[in-house]
Chains A and B, each alone.
Chain A
Amino acid sequence: MKPKLIIGIVSIVLFTSLLMYNFGNSISSYVNFEQAADRANSHVIGTWDNTQDYGFSRETMQFSFHMKDQDGNVRRVVYPRPKPNNFEQATQLVVVGELRNNVFHANDMLMKCPSKYNDGSELVNAQES
């Protein structure tokens, strides 16, 4: 075999394994609140628990609410930014951050909004108004 081919193959293998390794490390699984307790950075999917108080406090400059994860665990979540747009309508929330002492400190938050395309509920509203 030509030495160039060997170098080529070795570098491709090296590159691919490095990429795989690095990629594998930079992604993680979505977890529930219980699993999040022993991790540094977790992504938790859940829904807003609207039975409890929520809102932005100008004293702590935090938005806080309760979230129920997919396995039914409820935790308080604090988020150091104002209440995001669409918060109340979101059918699903993803919070990214750290659980400390049963309070989830979110650094990032994603909202999945209801698909206005399937049930026509919005159409009914439009009709009423």
Chain B
Amino acid sequence: MVSTLGQLFLSGAFIASIAAMISYAISVVKDDIKIEKISHYLWYAKGTFLLISSVALIWLIMTHQFQYYYVWNYTSLDLETQYLFSAFYGGQEGSFMLWILCSFVVGLGLIKWTRKPYKGPVMFVMTLTQFFLLSMVVGWDLNFTQIGATPFRTIAQEMPNAPFIQANPDFVPADGSGLNDLLKSPWMMIHPPIIFVGFAMMTVPFAFAIASLWTKTYHEWIRPALPWTLAANLSLLTAIFLGGYWAYETLSFGGYWAWDPVENASLVPWLIGTAGIHAMIIQRKSSRAHKASLFFAILAYVSIVYQTFLTRSGVLADQSVHSFVDLGLYGQLLMFISVMALMGIGFYLYRYRELPSPEKESKFLSKEFMTFTGSMLLFILGVVIIFGTSSPIIGRLFVENPTPPEIQFYNDWSMPIAIIMAIATVIGQHLFWQKHSWESLAGKLVTPLLLTSIAAVLSIILGEVRNVYYMLFIFAAWFTVMGNASVLFSLIRKNPKLTGGSLTHVGFGALLLGVIASSVYTEPLLDQRTSSYNARVVAGEVYDEEGFPITQPIEMFQLDINKPKLINNKYMVTYEGYEVADSPRPGQQTYRIKFEPIDGSRTFYMDPEVYPMLTTSSMDNIDWSVDPHVRTGWFSDIYLYVAGSRYVERKNQELEREKRSRSLVPVADEEEEIQTIEIQQGETIEAGPFTFTFQSFVPAQPEHLPENTQIGIRSLIRVAHAASGNAYEVEPLFAVYTENEQSYTYSPPLMIENWGMSISFSRIHPETDSIELTIDGLDLNYEEDWILIVAEKKPFVSVVWLGTFLLMAGFSISIMRHWSREKNTEEKR
């Protein structure tokens, strides 16, 4: 019922978007304000319908209607409410719906604030994009072809040929397959909405650019478009930051950025959008660069659609760990990107000759030239990254079966571009507020250069930088910070509202510093043996059994329980044990690792976790996943995870045993592990690596005893493991009771979880004054607990975040400034 309603309104939204699109087009062509009004109502209808449809989907998720494929696939009964809600946009279909909802809200803003002559054409472009996005989820089956994949399809519709569906078409699974554990993070809840707000807002400059080409008004459009573009960029930046932060805290690749295709795909629209902002600012201030503003405004959105195509069509399936599953939307997505690119770029080329061009060229030393350089560099960097990311497509021109490019490709290009950008920002910012000759500029830059030199030299000496290229990079980055900071200080005195630009550029400099420090100067934390082994590997002195030199260093080390090791000559590190808990993730182990800095500073603990990933584990195989611990500091972070542990190894062995015992061919059983020992009070008996001490009898509380008990007593037993010094005390119960005039004994086993051992008090021997203990799971080859650690020290990750925050703050200030200026002009009219 709810699902039918949801599907009905989804179809309604699709039809409304088509109607709105046609109606807006007519309103523009006929220049009819009445039709435009009707179109607005169609836009509201579209949004409302989709909202109802989304509520229906959320309802299905909240009420666990697992007969629906989407609900089954992304949720489960045990999922917390907030994750149930975020599961709405956890899959492909729902995330399209969220994108459309965000666009709807943006459209409301556009309807309210946009003036003539742009309103109609802008809204036409918005509805066009809505038409394509809705077509991805509407799920209409038109005999010859299928349009989109609806989130309201049932499992039977999704897999009509599956045997259990053939056997029982009304099959409803008891539980869903659940949300991937890695995604159960508050960061991941807010990341998608922010990204889609950014996508939706980035449609606005595109729509304005098309509207400008349509109405042949090339000057005015940037005024309303600029605040939207800035806001879109702020959203995308925030989303990229959240994604990077999540990856750093959650995943085991050990960083916030990996040039992964999906990450790149989010970076490129941001770069091109930023290029567009620069071009628009020149156009505002100097009435130049009309062509560039239009071009970048179009391209920023096209790159968003292109990245959507790359990540959602299955093209990148082989290359990225987190691309979406192919829903068979390849054709529709291809159509979307083709129409957007053809419409944008085609229209641009069609009008190209009419576009205003400057009468005379800008001087080299002018704000126009410098800002334009910045814009071009951002664009070039975007192109380079698109190239690399598109390797499954473009690579075919070069080789068959292309692999992704090496990471080096991205670094080789981004570093020199960043260096030139860094210098251009300083010159550009100084020129932006004041005209300068070479002499006067040099005069302004004396102090920043002096400070830059001091800071750069200090960083190079303290950071032991040997590479000349990196020295240059560090110098350029410091120059960006100092040079733009000097502009910032003079602006703060004049008018703090103008500081947006200089603040972003200081942030950019800080970001560069943080990136180089945290990526190039990350050092693995290792014990002395491993690091001297690695030094020998580097020197080519280590050979494998066949006499070939070993080239791969070891980047992890083992810790035995309670045995401190000296790590990097800095810390005494001790593994103190682990705890198993069922919350928040069933079966998760928290390992406790003590760090004692040998310089006497304060001791701290790290608590990385390992847990079974339930969504991908089966009866035969547990898929263990690590949750690293990151200890953030002002100067450096310590990143650490447990790469292996005795607990995990044992669990795997147990599973292996169970699997074999379940299989049809009986395997010779492991030796019986049940042992009995007879022990007197006060006596200590050794069994393998363990000692058992019977300390005393303890009275048993009546409520723990069965009915008609004649004797009920507990014994206090201390079990110790000498090698590790661990010991547990247990009080197993022994009782004799009568039932139907028969005597029975009752001796429930008690479990020592960490040793996989259970102890029961099975008999009393009054004649020898001793008791009998039955011990199950006594492992005579018991070894001490150990873990394998992968740890890294990453300097100045804090500065990466600082740079990002400064960028965000700068963007926010600019948004407010341009927005209030835009509002003022509106009021004046």
* A interface list, Cβ under 8 A from B: 4, 15, 19, 22-24, 26-30, 43, 56, 58, 61, 80-82, 85-86, 88-89, 94, 96, 98, 100-101, 103, 105, 107, 110, 112-113, 115-120, 122-129
Q: How far is the CB of A111 from chain B (nearest CB, A)?
A: 9
Return chain B residues, CB-CB under 8 Å to A115: 325
B403-411, B739-747, B811-819 - the one binding chain A: B403-411
- Please, which residue of chain A has its CB at the minimum distance from the CB of B361? A4
- Please, which residue of chain A has its CB at the minimum distance from the CB of B619? A129
Closest 9 CB pairs of A and B: A120-B162, A26-B409, A26-B405, A82-B643, A80-B552, A30-B401, A24-B398, A29-B399, A43-B403
Q: How far is the CB of B809 from chain A (nearest CB, A)?
A: 34
Additional A-B contacts beyond A22-B413, A126-B174 (17; CB < 8 A): A23-B394, A27-B391, A27-B398, A56-B644, A58-B644, A61-B556, A80-B553, A81-B555, A86-B616, A89-B621, A94-B318, A101-B546, A101-B548, A107-B552, A119-B162, A123-B72, A129-B619
Q: What's the dominant secondary structure at chain A's contact region?
A: mixed
On chain B, the number of residues with a Cβ less than 8 Å from chain A's Cβ atoms is 59
Over the window 152-169 of chain B, the binary record of Cβ atoms lying under 8 Å from chain A Cβ atoms (1 yes, 0 no) is 000100010011110000
Query: Counting CB contacts under 8 A, is B737 at the interface?
Result: no
Q: Mind listing 14 A-B residue pairs with CB under 8 Å?
A: A19-B387, A23-B394, A26-B388, A29-B401, A80-B552, A82-B788, A85-B623, A103-B546, A115-B325, A117-B325, A123-B72, A123-B162, A123-B164, A128-B619
Query: Counting CB contacts under 8 A, is B564 at the interface?
Result: no
Return chain B residues, CB-CB under 8 Å to A98: 551
B552 touches A89 (CB 8 A): no
A80 interface neighbour in B383, B406, B555, B624, Cβ under 8 Å:
B555
B788 touches A27 (CB 8 A): no
Query: Counting CB contacts under 8 A, is B414 at the interface?
Result: no
A85 touches B625 (CB 8 A): yes
Return chain B residues, CB-CB under 8 Å to A125: 618-619
Query: Counting CB contacts under 8 A, is B699 at the interface?
Result: no
B403 touches A30 (CB 8 A): yes
Return chain A residues, CB-CB under 8 Å to B398: 23-24, 27
Q: How far is the CB of A59 from chain B (nearest CB, A)?
A: 10
Q: How far is the CB of A99 from chain B (nearest CB, A)?
A: 11
| Listed residue (A19, A30, A126, A128) with the most chain B CB atoms within 10 angstroms of its CB | A126
- Please, which residue of chain B has its CB at the minimum distance from the CB of A78? B552
Over the window 542-561 of chain B, the binary record of Cβ atoms lying under 8 Å from chain A Cβ atoms (1 yes, 0 no) is 00001010011111101000
In the complex, how many residue pairs between chain A and chain B have their CB atoms under 8 Å apart?
A: 122
A27 touches B164 (CB 8 A): no
A27 interface neighbour in B325, B405, B558, Cβ under 8 Å:
B405
Return chain A residues, CB-CB under 8 Å to B380: 15
Query: Counting CB contacts under 8 A, is B402 at the interface?
Result: yes
A123 touches B403 (CB 8 A): no
Return chain B residues, CB-CB under 8 Å to A81: 555-556, 643, 790
| Listed residue (A15, A43, A120, A124) with the most chain B CB atoms within 10 angstroms of its CB | A120
B155 interface neighbour in A29, A88, A123, A128, Cβ under 8 Å:
A123
Return chain A residues, CB-CB under 8 Å to B391: 23, 27
A29 touches B618 (CB 8 A): no
Q: How far is the CB of B530 from chain A (nearest CB, A)?
A: 8
B388 touches A23 (CB 8 A): yes
* Complex-state Cα separation, A124 to B383, whole angstroms: 46
Q: How far is the CB of A15 from chain B (nearest CB, A)?
A: 7
* Complex-state Cα separation, A113 to B565, whole angstroms: 38
B402 interface neighbour in A29, A58, A122, Cβ under 8 Å:
A29
Return chain B residues, CB-CB under 8 Å to A101: 546, 548
A120 touches B384 (CB 8 A): no
* Complex-state Cα separation, A115 to B73, whole angstroms: 12
A122 touches B551 (CB 8 A): no
* Complex-state Cα separation, A23 to B391, whole angstroms: 9
B318 touches A112 (CB 8 A): yes
Q: How far is the CB of A46 from chain B (nearest CB, A)?
A: 13
A117 touches B555 (CB 8 A): no
Given that A61-B556, A80-B553, A126-B173 are contacting pairs, would A27 and B402 also be in contact in the complex, using a CB cutoff of 8 Å?
yes
- Please, which residue of chain B has its CB at the minimum distance from the CB of A58? B558
Return chain A residues, CB-CB under 8 Å to B556: 61, 81-82
A28 touches B551 (CB 8 A): no
* Complex-state Cα separation, A85 to B175, whole angstroms: 24
A127 interface neighbour in B73, B173, B318, B400, Cβ under 8 Å:
B173
A29 interface neighbour in B73, B400, B621, Cβ under 8 Å:
B400
Q: How far is the CB of B594 from chain A (nearest CB, A)?
A: 22
- Please, which residue of chain A has its CB at the minimum distance from the CB of B530? A61
